[in-house]
Amino acid sequence: MAELIRIYEENPHPRAVKKVVDVLKAGGLIIYPTDTVYGLGCDITNHSALEKVALIKGVKLEKANFSFVCYDLSNLSDYVKQIDTATFKILKRSLPGPYTFVLPGSRNLPSSFKKKKTVGIRIPNNNIALEIVKQLGNPIISTSIYDEDEILEYTTDPELIYEKWENLVDIVVDGGYGGNQPSTIIDLSEGEPLVVREGKGSLDIF
């Protein structure tokens, strides 16, 4: 059964964040807040944890389109092929923020993602998510948790999320009410920005 941990975004308590990170390092699954909707995630370097997430989502791991949640752009070259100046400027201008950028994957991708030509990169404007990734030392994967309710689409109340997911994950991070709009997805893998999904992020900056 999952543990519900309250973490405040204004000042995430290091001990609470460490507890989440320890679970990730041990191959556990977490649900955590972002600057858009709550996400389901795990350590991107842990193959068995990734397979668990894929199973929950009902997809094959090699075909799953999970986003990589990063702390900043400094380790981008670990996962993405060299990008041009114009692309980097877009990333710099938009992140942290409610965007997922599809970029060409590099040869250094973790073994679970070796066959992927592109990866979705996310740097959410949320201190809880960023502190978790920072303490972990590498990205976590992120996939939105949908709701069966067609009107709601995304559950925003952490306690309701906990009730639904307590037997599927190891930790639910209560970071307060979440949003109900997913990130805007922009494909930059071919150079020119292509809007794949319009979500919370404004398109004016493109």
User: 150-160: per-residue pLDDT in tens?
Assistant: 555 667 899 99
pLDDT tens digits, residue range 101-160? 999 999 888 888 888 899 999 999 999 999 999 999 999 999 988 765 555 566 789 999
Start-to-end Cα distance in the chain: 44
Tell me the chain's radius of gyration from C-alpha atoms.
16
Rounded to an integer, what distance in angstroms lies between the CA atom of residue 31 and that of residue 23?
A: 12
**Short-list 19, 18, 59, CA closest to 141:** 59
Tell me the domains of the chain and their CATH numbers.
Answer: 3-197 (3.90.870.10)
3-state secondary structure of 154: strand
pLDDT above 70 covers a percentage of the chain that reads 96
Q: Which pTM does this prediction carry?
A: 0.94
d(Cα 47, Cα 178) in Å, to the nearest integer?
28
CA atoms within 13 A on the CB side of 88: 11
Q: Give every CB contact of residue 187 below 8 A, 6+ residues apart in sequence.
A: 101, 102, 118, 193, 194, 195, 196
